[in-house]
Structure formats: C-alpha cells, structure tokens
Amino acid sequence: MSQRVNTPARIEAARVKIAQLLAGSAEWFCTLSEVNTQAAKTEALGRSELDVAVAHGRLILTCWTEKGSRTWKIFAWEWTGEKLLLQASRRLGAERPQIELVPRAAASAIALTVKAARQSRCEQLGRLACSLQPGAKLERTALSPRGTTRTAGPLCANSLATEAPTHRRYRICGFKYG
C-alpha cells in the first residue's frame, strides 16, 4: 500500500527510508510510465545518479542521465520488497508519472542461482540414468567446471552410479543442457 507524503514527519521518514533503499544497491533500473499512456522508458542508473532530498517542504527525487538531470516531486511511495514505486509529478502537475525503481541483481547472486539449478538438473539426470539400469544406485553427482563462464563451453553434469550385484561403477557424464 502506497504511503502518502503529506506531512513534515512523513516527508522526513520517507526521505530516510528511500535513501537507505537507494544506498542498498549499486545499480537500479528506472522505468517511467505515464498514468494515461502505455509508453514506458527504462534505463539503468547508478546509485550516485539518484538523489532524494527535502526542499521547501517537499520530497524531491533527482536523477542524472545522459540526457541531463530530471527532478520530480514525490507525493506517494511504496516498497514492495522487490521494487520501489514512486508516484510523482513534474512541471506543476502537467506530468504525473509512476516511477519504478528495481535494484539490479548482483552477478554473484545470479551465478549462485545458475549453479544451484545446474546441480539440481545434474541430480535429476543421474537418477534418470540409474532408473534405466536395474539395480543401479546413484553414488554422487558433480558439475564440471566448464560452463561456469560465458566462453567456457557447454554445461556438463557428471554422475557416478554403482550396479548392485557386481558393485561395478559406471561414470555417467556429458549431459549437456543449457
């Protein structure tokens, strides 16, 4: 639920909270959408290119882009946990965009998500291979180091299975997915 910014106490509380949120991420995706139109412009902004301040009893958001600086009066805001929604006005109310600020995910967080998905898929493929061989049991699964960078090649999974009566080991490798 959006919080109105209409008293000095609310203005200061909103400024502090929004400043903390902006400082929490190095880069933000900023989307401006007009209320009456479907048109939306999105651009990436660094933490240092965004500023929130109080001027003349109003909460002001300023951003610096390649096209110059833009300033909006914020009259309501909401943090959804994933994005910061700001209802703003500009040019004495002639423009009333909704500003969406979404923090850009860190590359390390994306890499961990991809690694977890690869490991899960590796285990699924190992179980599938063992189900095709009667008496086989999956001992372990591992990811190959290849595929951890953009130019390293295909993503591969390696599984080690043991057949029950003979205790013969089979290495199941080369599952390519991506």
Q: What is the pLDDT of residues 14-72, one digit of tens each?
A: 999 999 998 988 888 888 886 665 556 788 888 889 999 999 989 999 988 887 888 88
3-state SS class at 169 = strand
Q: Where does residue 17 rank: exposed (0-12), middle (13-18), buried (19+ CB within 10 A)?
A: middle
Task: Give the pLDDT of residue 61.
Answer: 92
Q: What DSSP element (H or E) covers 25?
A: none
Retrieve residue 166's tokens.
Answer: 């003979």
Task: Give the pLDDT of residue 176.
Answer: 46
Domain formed by 3-103, architecture: Distorted Sandwich (2.70)
**Contact call for residues 62 and 70 (beta carbons, < 8 A):** yes
Going 130 to 131 to 135 to 140, the CA torsion angle's sign is positive
Domain with CATH 2.70.180.10 in the chain: 3-103
For the cut 90, the answer to whether the pLDDT of residue 74 exceeds it is yes
- First and final CA of the chain: distance in angstroms? 39
Task: Give the pLDDT of residue 146.
Answer: 54
Interval 84-97: pLDDT, tens: 899 888 776 677 77
Q: Where does residue 175 rank: exposed (0-12), middle (13-18), buried (19+ CB within 10 A)?
A: buried
